[in-house]
A and B are shown apart, each in its own frame.
Chain A
Amino acid sequence: MDLLGLYNYWIVILLMMAGFYIVISCGNLVKKIIGLNIFQTSVFILFISMGKVSGGTAPILAEGITRFSNPLPHVLILTAIVVGVATTSLGLAIVVRIHETYNTVNEDEIHQQDEDAE
């Protein structure tokens, strides 16, 4: 069955949609950032699974090995993981700041307070 070769993309899409659902449906800001993290990890898995060559090994040169997985996605994702932590920490800092101002991290309550203020 040829379509079975696509299963890695389907897992990625399932995880990605789980993250996306959390981002758009949860009112809690911390949970939204958790959703973004899940989304991000699914993109990492997409890249890494594209770099896999069947029968290949880790891209470290050694004697007697001729077939390697593609090292380029690995490099890109190494960078992306660190950048992801940077953006997560910035997002969490904004959440802490919002909590100090509004005393809640729930989106609905923040909207309510904004409307009351106007």
Chain B
Amino acid sequence: MAVSAIAIVRLRSLFAAVMLTSIYSLLSASFFLTLDAVDVAFTEAAVGAGITTVLFLSTLALVGRHSQESHHTRWLPLGVVTLTGAALIYATLDMPRFGDPAAPVHQHVAPRYIEQSAQEVGPPNIVTSVLASYRGYDTLGEVTVVFTAAIGVMLLLGRSRKDKQDDEHET
């Protein structure tokens, strides 16, 4: 995965970069599977590797596929990135170790979800119970965001079509 990410950084051709993003997404889906997150892996494979790629490809069809070489100095961004990365690595030194059952994230509401969801909600898949019941408002918010984004896309793309038609009428 890290290799494909770095390859995307180096690539000039946008088409290849988009295909690599898709592969990257699929790899992260299999990564989620090994980390026990089966539902997330399904979603990532379908949405991340599927729909996102289609969106990128349809954009490329409209805007052309070659990324021009920009003649910026590359040291400033590289320096900023290295500094940020070093600061973040310093911050991880206090984090709980990977797979530690005593980590704070497992102490708050998660035990209740695991122990009580079968009686309180029903389905054997705990992720489903939490998504639909305990955190139902999250899903409502998500639907709102998707709705807003859809309206935004329609406004942006619909208006330009109309402008073009108006131009054609005028000329």
Contact = CB atoms under 8 A, between A and B. Distances in A.
A96 B92 contact: no
Contacts of B68: 27-28, 106
Interface in A46-68: 48-62, 67-68
Interface in B148-165: 148-150, 152-153, 156-157, 160, 164
Contact of B47 (A9, A38, A81): A81
24 contacts: A17-B88, A26-B70, A34-B8, A41-B44, A44-B28, A50-B105, A52-B35, A52-B36, A54-B98, A61-B124, A69-B36, A71-B114, A72-B110, A76-B138, A78-B40, A81-B47, A81-B48, A82-B146, A83-B142, A88-B55, A92-B55, A92-B56, A94-B156, A97-B157
Given A5-B97, A71-B127, A72-B109, A82 B153 contact: no
Interface of A: 2-3, 5-11, 13-22, 24-28, 30-31, 33-35, 37-38, 41, 44-45, 48-62, 67-79, 81-90, 92-97, 99-100, 105-108
A77 B98 CA distance: 18
Interface in B107-138: 109-110, 113-114, 117-118, 124-127, 130-131, 135, 138
Nearest to B152: A90
Contact of A69 (B35, B85, B96, B109): B35
Contacts of B152: 90, 93
B119 to A, nearest CB: 11
Contacts of B106: 53, 70
A59 B84 contact: no
Interface in B27-72: 28, 31-32, 35-40, 43-44, 47-48, 51-52, 55-56, 59-60, 62-64, 67-68, 70, 72
Given A58-B38, A76-B138, A93-B157, A88 B52 contact: yes
Contacts of B93: 3, 6
A77 B99 contact: no
B91 to A, nearest CB: 9
Q: Which 3 A-B pairs have the closest CB atoms?
A: A5-B97, A54-B99, A86-B149
B138 to A, nearest CB: 5
A116 B75 CA distance: 28
A25 B96 CA distance: 33
